[in-house]
Amino acid sequence: MQSEAELEGFRNELRDWLEQNCPDEMRDGQNIETAICWGGINWKFTSEAQKQWLERCAAKGYTVPTWPVEYGGAGLSRAQEKIFHQEMARINARSPLESFGIWMLGPALLHFGSHEQKLHYLPPIARGEVRWCQGYSEPGAGSDLASVQTKGEDKGDHWLVNGQKIWTSYADKADWIFALVRTDREAPKHKGISFLLIDMSDPGVETRPIKLISGASVFCETFFTDVKVPKHQIVGEENRGWDVAKYLLTHEREMISGGGQGLQGGRALGAVLAESAGEGGLTDATLRADAMRCEVDALAIGMTLERYKDQAEAGTGAGDASAMLKYMGTELNKQRHELLMAAGGSDALEWDGPLGDRPADWLRTKANSIEGGTSEVMLSIVSRRVLGLPG
């Protein structure tokens, strides 16, 4: 535990650093899809400021503030991390880097990876040099994820991987994929899966984007045809990949639930609605009442996220909280975007109209309660594991 004085010292130092290093263009608080820096071998920075901001943060470990310093992080404690987010929010700074490497693979590697693997894979993630995607779902394995059929045949020094993944977000832009592969076809379905790291540039890896209702193609189909994956590119033990997958899903769910950003640090929904309702502000009584309810719930869910982080740090365990947060956060986010569309009226009905990405963002949220486990799967998890009802 750091003393109050030490924490204040950290805050002041950080504040100065941010003041001097965060470019003005990066202080607009934008967190929409087009403003995000995803990094990767083929990443094209949208501005010099975006590049500078990433490089400066990476040099301090601030792209992954809580990771250990030797793996590219800043080694911040939970208390310092809170301060970090507060100070970033204070100047409305954009996140320097977002990626599946940060949200998902990183935490999984930190927990299950060998020291060598951590040293090899984590720093490039932290510096935004390698972009990862997640190969979980398959056409026949959606909610029933453990039914994955993509197979890896043992060929001595490597696995020969064949099969198809679907809903692989940004697979067409990613450099590497972490994938669930069946390496033992005889074992019960949860016991025959391995967690493999695969280079997307390997021969036999193909991707095909899927056009979504929002017009965007963030999801892809990914095909593996006789892809050779060296044996050292496995996380955890052979056939124990489900443990890694489950651990990682909790991180994914927390991320999709809205994290610390959208729900609490952000602007009040009512204020945003009032703005887009135009002159006179939020006069529609029904809309205003819905917005108030949404705001109440958003604040309380944000606090719950904080509470679980505090509990996790205190070692009292958050249990199956991630399922709850994922369910509550995504359902709320969908409501929020329904209200944003209603407030926008006919202006929100035009692609690239006066409200920009609003219709696309609205449609994007419909995937929130499906990806990473549907709301119904989340409720079943709570029912079985928390309430002890028969599964």
Residues in contact with other proteins by CB under 8 A are 268, 270-271, 273-274, 281-282, 288-289, 291-293, 295-297, 299-301, 303-304, 306-307, 310-311, 313-314, 316, 321, 324, 327-328, 376, 378-380, 382-383, 386-390
Task: Provide, rounded to whole angstroms, the least separation between the CB of residue 367 and other proteins.
Answer: 20
Rounded to whole angstroms, the Cα distance separating 360 from 213 reads 8
Catalytic residue (one of 252, 254, 331, 371): 252
Task: Provide, rounded to whole angstroms, the least separation between the CB of residue 198 and other proteins.
Answer: 36
Question: Using an 8 Å Cβ cutoff, are 170 and 185 in contact?
Answer: no
**Among candidates 182, 161, 172, which has minimal Cα distance to 227?**
161
Residue 59 or 271: which CB sits closer to other proteins? 271
Rounded to whole angstroms, the Cα distance separating 291 from 285 reads 10
Which neighbouring-strand residues pair with 206? Answer: 223
Residue 129 or 310: which CB sits closer to other proteins? 310
Residue 328 or 341: which CB sits closer to other proteins? 328
C-alpha distance from residue 304 to each of 292, 298, 310, 369, 389 (Å) = 18, 10, 10, 19, 24
Rounded to whole angstroms, the Cα distance separating 47 from 302 reads 32
Q: Assess whether 252 carries a catalytic annotation.
A: yes
Residue 249 or 277: which CB sits closer to other proteins? 277
- Side-chain half-sphere of 247: how many Cα atoms within 13 Å? 17
Task: Provide, rounded to whole angstroms, the least separation between the CB of residue 86 and other proteins.
Answer: 11
* DSSP string computed for 321-371: HHHHHHHHHHHHHHHHHHHHHHHHGGGGGSTTBTTBTHHHHHHHHTTTTTT
Which residue is it, tokens 């994820």? Answer: 145
Residue 215, φ and ψ in degrees, nearest 5? 90, -20
Task: Provide, rounded to whole angstroms, the least separation between the CB of residue 77 and other proteins.
Answer: 13
Q: For the CA atoms of the chain, what is the radius of gyration?
A: 22
Residue 162 or 375: which CB sits closer to other proteins? 375
Residue 177 or 324: which CB sits closer to other proteins? 324
Task: Provide, rounded to whole angstroms, the least separation between the CB of residue 80 and other proteins.
Answer: 14
Residue 221, φ and ψ in degrees, nearest 5? -95, 140
Residues annotated as catalytic are 252
